Amino acid sequence: MGAKKPRVCVIDGLGGGIGAVIIKRLKELYYENIEVIALGINVLATAQMLKARANQGASGENAIVVTAPTADVIIGTVSIVLANAMLGEVTPKIAAAIGSSPAYKILLPLTQEQVEIVGVSREPLPHLVEMAVAGRLPEVLKAICPGSWPDGDAALIRC
Domain presence at residue 107: yes
Domain presence at residue 1: no
Domain presence at residue 158: no
Q: Label residue 91 exposed, middle or buried (CB < 10 Å: 0-12, 13-18, 19+).
A: middle
pLDDT of residue 115: 87
Domain presence at residue 2: no
Query: How far apart are the C-alpha atoms of 50 and 128, rounded to whole Å?
Result: 21
Backbone angles phi, psi at 143, to 5 degrees: -70, -40
Q: Which domain holds residue 75?
A: 7-153
Counted domains in the chain? 1
Domain presence at residue 94: yes
pLDDT of residue 68: 98
- Whole-model pTM: value is 0.91
Neighbouring C-beta atoms of residue 34, cutoff 10 Å? 23
What is the CATH classification number for the domain harbouring 68? 3.40.50
Instruction: Let me know: does 7 contact 32? Beta carbons within 8 Å.
Output: no
Domain presence at residue 159: no
Domain presence at residue 122: yes
Query: In tens digits, what is the pLDDT along the chain, a chain of 159 residues?
Result: 456 889 999 999 999 999 999 999 999 999 989 999 999 999 999 999 999 999 999 999 999 999 999 999 999 999 999 999 999 999 999 999 999 999 999 999 988 878 888 888 889 999 999 999 999 999 999 888 876 655 555 545 666
Domain presence at residue 43: yes
Instruction: Let me know: does 78 contact 115? Beta carbons within 8 Å.
Output: yes
Backbone angles phi, psi at 9, to 5 degrees: -100, 125
β-pair type (104-108, 35-40): unpaired
